[in-house]
Amino acid sequence: MKRGTILLVILVLLLAACAPAAETESPPVQETPQVENGGERRTLTVMTHDSFAASEEVLQAFEEEHNVDVQILTAGDAGSALNRAILSRGNPLADVFYGVDNSFLSRALDEGIFEPYESPLLADIPDEFELDPTHHALPVDFGDVCFNYDKAYFEEAGLEPPQHIEDLVREEYRSLTVVENPATSSPGLSFLLATIGHFGEDGYLEYWQGLVENDLLVVNDWETAYYGEFTRAGGSRPVVLSYATSPPAEVIFAEQPMDEPPTGVITADGSCFRQVEFVGILEGTQNRDLAERWVDFMLSPTFQEDIPLQMFVIPVNENAELSGVFAEFLITAENPAEVSPEEISANREAWIQAWTDTVLR
Amino acid sequence: MDRHGAALEVRPEAASSLRSRLGSGLGALLWVLPLAFLLVFYFYPLATILQVSFSRGAAGWAAPFIEALSSASIRSVLWFTIWQAAVSTALTLLVGLPGAYLLARYDFPGKSFLQALTGIPFVMPTLVVAAAFNALLGPRGWVNGLLVEVFNLQQPPIQFVNTLGAILLAHVFYNTTIVLRMVGDFWAHIDPRLAQAAQVLGASRLQTLRHVVLPLIMPAVAASALLVFIFDFTSFGVILVLGGPRFATLEVEIYRQTVSLFNLPLAAALSIIQLLTTLALTVLYTWLNRRLSTPLNLRPRTYTQARLVSWRSKLFAAVVLGLLLALTVLPLAGLAARSVTHFEPPQRGESGGFAGFTLNYYRELGVNRQSSIFYVPPARAISISLGYAGLTVLLALLIGLPASWALARDPADSRSAAARINRLLDPVLMLPLGTSAVTLGLGFLIALDEPPLDLRASPLLVPLAHTLVAFPFVVRSLTPALRSIRPRLRQAAAVMGATPLQVLRHIDLPLVGRALIVAATFAFTISLGEFGATSLISRPEYPTVPVAIYRLISRPGALNYGQALALSTLLMSITAAGMLFIERFRVADIGEF
């Protein structure tokens, strides 16, 4: 009994510590929908991956304007969520699917899960993002997978940080790099694609061979790389494969306020791979009108400007303005390496196998 | 006990015919609920996903199996899966059995606390455990730091991440509690006079262990070894995160084929291979177990346990406790300490390091900084997790009790219908544990999609899925205890006019009170810690604590990482508190009726 009580007290104290301080209190979560203002309130279901997030007020504005409850369904990571959408095609649970990226785009289009919709807002989105000319899948955001480096490490070591991925095979950067496995990790696959786009199908394995000889470390997931092996987190590798948005995120989620990001990004031509995420209306939806409004909403500046702080990716709409740390510190790649969705779909397995044979064996 | 035996001998035939009539009728009845549950929530979703997967292949059902078995890389995955599980299980027994003996035979202060502590690893998310081990054994961990300092080395001597050693150590870390609980509790009720008698008769310690003690505890050892093996065999997170890219189990390969390559026919074939291996193993276990189980006179704990008096027993206790604490508690303690520690990252010109204690991470958990729709305060995530866990305990006991009871009432006549049903169903009960979470999760989502079972968007899916995993644990914890009850006790009660329900209420239940606690604890911890299936089927508004931890740790920033550790520490405390709470619910210990 006594031990139980002590434990309980500790627990209560810890939970009490979690209570928000008065000045930072957030608005209470809206638990019940507002009073219906004429007409029947409908429900729109959006299926997505578990990284989806949005601001309360942004979503509420949409719900109020269209007298609709938006239900968000997630199903694991991007690949798992897409599988779910494909396998429930005959009896779709949702009206809209968001979160298929260019590495999975061909799978989604080949399976025919989307209905085409040419949103008027596509006019505000640069053509480079419109990878599906049939408008089944519409671009929403992008994220550049690039190397981050620990500024303090290089300063202390008196070493110039690497400028290009080609630098990483050089002797002075020996044993400094950690990447994710393309077979199990989305940024891992993106970097493999970057090397294929940059060095070509004939040259990328030679580059990887060089990385291996320079004592490259490969781990299976981003979390292990970033929070386990990266020097910032107490690991031994000052160069880590992450995103171009990670440095601004470091500023937002810093323990102590900081003037500038503690990490830098390697964005030289051909060093990054651009992940574009798409939204589409699911084939067979009963709420086509609402689904169209939702797609327009996702492409509109209101939602687009909410994207960076919620999901740490970058809006595609030219009219969406970046604010705060993103406006100040975000550096994206001018010329990311390119591989088309069709090529990715056709060669994914072979490329991963070739990579495995070169790097892991 | 002999009084009951004497009563029986008056009319042996009448008693046995009454028993067999009652036995088979009741036996069949007991199976109704568990089977209905398994049919709807296991076999139906599994069959659906397998059927859908195979129908996507162009070349029929056999082709993916041929593809799987003719591929050298998949054969080596299968082989690795089996042998790493075997080695992990052996190591877990090696660590767990002395601990089980200590817990069974000695009474010492802080015992239930120790048991709760050693149970915590079971619920910890792999990503967090990896962080904990890294803090200890990583290139800049304490151990390496200490060794470099003491021996003046150039390089950290211990290479931990991405090694086989990391996989084995993590498996022992996670699963030792299974051996401690299952074997420890069973052992505690075995009459110590049997071993004492052997020694009086001149047997050496080793001989006593081999010929008396081991045979007696074998049913519990086998049951726990089976569970540990299946857990290691289907290991996913540990292999992925700690083993690194050079190691893959079948479960990892299934995930890869499903999600990354979308080769569903091959994934389905691999799932079936994994299932069949589990089934074969369980059949072997069932067959062995029928030879091993003997009815015993179970004794109350107060009767079997001694205090640590002799220097020999004290030394033993110190060594075993030291090992258990170092293995299971030390990494977690490091994690908890890190969650209240503020580190200064290296800044210009000065190296970083310890910069004081802080409750910042805990405070930050209560702030919805991004005003996100899916933000969930920690108290709410904890309530959601506890709610799911409570439901899981109820459901798992509700279907687990009748199933284990039916198994334990195995009639003496092995050709009777009831015995046949039991032989058939016993191994089947273990299948959910051997099923790939990726496969079953998808199965849930695409099978339970029409009224009256349109559960695709229901929060109920989570406790249902957890119950599937917990159910085999409940059965394996309860059955050895129920089987060890002398049939003559039940017979005697029946002869004296007790209805089967009364027999259950007054004979079986008091005798298995302790095993019920073990079963409930397993169900509780399994539900608190499950991540694989939960991440697929849970609603974003109702995240469990592990799902909330994952959300935090998958974003960059020191504050996110700190919060993940803080929430993990809360999860540890909740788990320990929950286990101590369940302990208090002793229905009745043996001998207390």
Q: What is the block-wise mean pLDDT of chain A (361 residues), using blocks of 10 residues?
A: 52 54 40 52 93 92 95 89 88 90 93 95 95 96 96 94 96 96 93 96 96 95 91 89 95 88 95 97 94 97 94 94 90 94 92 93 75
Which of A179, A244, A185, A187 has its CA nearest to residue A214?
A179
**pLDDT higher than 90, residue B500:** no
Q: What percent of chain B has pLDDT over 90?
A: 31
B chain contacts of residue A72, beta-carbon cutoff 8 Å: 373-374, 540-541
More confident residue, A97 or B292: A97
Minimum-distance CB partner of A84 among B241, B244, B445: B445
Minimum-distance CB partner of B540 among A59, A72, A236: A72
Q: How far apart are CA A114 and CA B290, in angstroms?
A: 56
User: Which residues lie below 8 Å from residue B166, measured CB to CB, with a gap of 6+?
Assistant: B133, B160, B242, B243
A246–B573 C-beta distance less than 8 A = no
For an interface test with A, the pick among B241, B260, B344 (most A C-beta atoms closer than 10 Å) comes out as: B260
Q: Show the tokens assigned to B445.
A: 């989502």
Q: How confident is the model at residue B173 (pLDDT cuts 50, 70, 90)?
A: very high
A189–B260 C-beta distance less than 8 A = yes
Question: Contact A100/B461 with Cβ under 8 angstroms?
Answer: no
Q: How far apart are CA B80 and CA A360, in angstroms?
A: 16
A254–B559 C-beta distance less than 8 A = yes
Q: What are phi and psi of A101, to 5 degrees?
A: -105, 180
A chain contacts of residue B80, beta-carbon cutoff 8 Å: none
Q: How far apart are CA A238 and CA A263, in angstroms?
A: 9
Q: How far apart are CA A264 and CA A177, in angstroms?
A: 14
Alpha helices of B204-359 — where are they, by DSSP H?
Answer: 205-208, 214-233, 237, 250-255, 264-292, 301-304, 311-324, 330-339
Which of A73, A11, A19, A23 has its CA nearest to residue A46?
A73
- B111 to chain A, any CB pair closer than 8 A? The answer is no
B584–A255 C-beta distance less than 8 A = no
Helix pair angle (B558-583, B330-339), 10° resolution: 130
Handedness of CA B386, B388, B394, B400 (dihedral sign): negative
Rg (CA), chain A: 22
Q: Show the tokens assigned to A313.
A: 């990716």
CA distances from B109 to A286, B224, B313, B322 (A): 64, 26, 15, 15
CA distances from A277 to A51, A138, A323, A324 (A): 12, 8, 21, 23
Minimum-distance CB partner of A224 among B241, B374, B569: B241
Q: Is B541 exposed, middle or buried (0-12, 13-18, 19+ CB in 10 A)?
A: middle
Question: Contact B402/B512 with Cβ under 8 angstroms?
Answer: no
* Residue A45: predicted pLDDT: 94
Handedness of CA B517, A2, B122, B230 (dihedral sign): negative
* Residue A257: predicted pLDDT: 85
Q: How far apart are CA B56 and CA B72, in angstroms?
A: 24
**pLDDT higher than 70, residue B13:** no
* Residue B180: predicted pLDDT: 92
| Contacting B residues, span 33-52, partner chain A, CB-CB under 8 Å | 49, 52
Cis-peptide, bond into residue A315, ω within 30° of zero: no
**pLDDT higher than 80, residue B507:** no
Question: Contact A45/A73 with Cβ under 8 angstroms?
Answer: yes
Q: How far apart are CA A223 and CA B208, in angstroms?
A: 50
Q: Are strands B106-107 and B306-307 parallel, antiparallel or unpaired?
A: parallel
B chain contacts of residue A77, beta-carbon cutoff 8 Å: 259
Give me the total of CB pairs closer than 8 Å, taking one residue from chain A and one from chain B.
Answer: 239
B chain contacts of residue A18, beta-carbon cutoff 8 Å: 362-363, 365-366, 377-379, 566, 570
A chain contacts of residue B252, beta-carbon cutoff 8 Å: 184
B chain contacts of residue A54, beta-carbon cutoff 8 Å: 372-373
A109-119 in b/e form (b: 16+ CB < 10 A) is bebebbbebeb
Count of Cβ atoms closer than 10 Å to residue B43 Cβ: 16
Q: How confident is the model at residue B375 (pLDDT cuts 50, 70, 90)?
A: confident
User: Which residues lie below 8 Å from residue A55, measured CB to CB, with a gap of 6+?
Assistant: A306, A309, A310, B370, B371, B372, B373
Q: What angle do CA A147, A149, A153 make, to 5 degrees?
A: 160
A chain contacts of residue B256, beta-carbon cutoff 8 Å: 183-184
* Residue A152: predicted pLDDT: 92
Query: For A312, which residue in chain B has the nearest alpha carbon?
Result: B555
Q: How far apart are CA B128 and CA B550, in angstroms?
A: 9
Count of Cβ atoms closer than 10 Å to residue B59 Cβ: 10
Q: How confident is the model at residue B483 (pLDDT cuts 50, 70, 90)?
A: confident
Return the H-helix or E-strand segment holding A249: helix A246-252
> Coil, strand, or helix at residue A158?
coil
CA distances from B454 to A187, B41, B446, B539 (A): 35, 12, 10, 15
- B143 to chain A, any CB pair closer than 8 A? The answer is no
B351–A156 C-beta distance less than 8 A = yes
Q: How confident is the model at residue B112 (pLDDT cuts 50, 70, 90)?
A: confident
More confident residue, A46 or B409: A46
Q: Homologous superfamily of A41-142+275-322 in CATH?
A: Periplasmic binding protein-like II (3.40.190.10)
pLDDT by residue (tens digit) across B199-237? 888 888 888 888 888 888 888 899 899 989 999 999 998
- B372 to chain A, any CB pair closer than 8 A? The answer is yes
CATH of domain A144-274+329-359: 3.40.190.10
* Residue B99: predicted pLDDT: 94
User: Which residues lie below 8 Å from residue B300, measured CB to CB, with a gap of 6+?
Assistant: B189, B589, B590, B591, B592
Minimum-distance CB partner of A255 among B342, B347, B377: B342
Provide the β-strand partners of residue A73.
A47
Q: How far apart are CA B393 and CA B386, in angstroms?
A: 10
Point out the least confidently predicted range of A13-27, A155-169, B100-114, B553-567: A13-27
Q: How far apart are CA B391 and CA B544, in angstroms?
A: 13
Minimum-distance CB partner of B379 among A18, A26, A59: A18
* Domains of chain A by residue range: 41-142+275-322, 144-274+329-359
Q: What angle do CA B33, B35, B38 make, to 5 degrees?
A: 110
Architecture per CATH, domain B2-583, reads as: Orthogonal Bundle (1.10)
Q: Show the tokens assigned to A170.
A: 């050089």
More confident residue, A218 or B148: A218
**pLDDT higher than 50, residue B4:** no
Ramachandran assignment for A215, one of left (phi > 0), alpha (psi -120 to 50 degrees), beta (any other): left
A14–B554 C-beta distance less than 8 A = no
Q: Show the tokens assigned to B578.
A: 């929950």
Query: For B533, which residue in chain A has the nearest alpha carbon?
Result: A76
Q: What is the DSSP string of A176-207?
A: -EEEE-TTT-HHHHHHHHHHHHHHHHHHHHHH
* Domains of chain B by residue range: 2-583
Which of B433, B525, B517 has its CA nearest to residue B477?
B517
**pLDDT higher than 80, residue B313:** yes
A chain contacts of residue B345, beta-carbon cutoff 8 Å: 152, 232, 262
* Residue A8: predicted pLDDT: 54
Q: How far apart are CA A172 and CA A187, in angstroms?
A: 25
pLDDT by residue (tens digit) across B329-361? 888 888 888 888 877 655 544 455 667 788 888
Rg (CA), chain B: 25
Which of A141, A231, A139 has its CA nearest to residue A178?
A231
Minimum-distance CB partner of B139 among A10, A55, A235: A235
Count of Cβ atoms closer than 10 Å to residue B152 Cβ: 7
Q: What angle do CA A72, A77, A79 make, to 5 degrees?
A: 110
B chain contacts of residue A184, beta-carbon cutoff 8 Å: 240, 245, 252, 255-256, 260
Query: Over chain B, what is the mean pLDDT?
Result: 83
B chain contacts of residue A14, beta-carbon cutoff 8 Å: 362, 566, 569-570, 573
- B562 to chain A, any CB pair closer than 8 A? The answer is yes
Which DSSP category does B41 fall into? I
A24–B540 C-beta distance less than 8 A = no
pLDDT by residue (tens digit) across B410-441? 666 667 777 788 888 888 888 998 898 889 88
* Residue B528: predicted pLDDT: 92
Which of B107, B113, B110, B104 has its CA nearest to residue B579?
B113
B556–A246 C-beta distance less than 8 A = yes
Predicted TM-score (pTM) of this structure: 0.85
Q: How far apart are CA A252 and CA A311, in angstroms?
A: 13
Minimum-distance CB partner of A228 among B134, B445, B541: B134
Which of B321, B365, B330 has its CA nearest to residue B136?
B330
A chain contacts of residue B366, beta-carbon cutoff 8 Å: 18-20
Q: How far apart are CA B396 and CA A43, in angstroms?
A: 34
| Contacting B residues, span 235-254, partner chain A, CB-CB under 8 Å | 240-241, 244-246, 252
- B29 to chain A, any CB pair closer than 8 A? The answer is no
Query: For B162, which residue in chain A has the nearest alpha carbon?
Result: A219
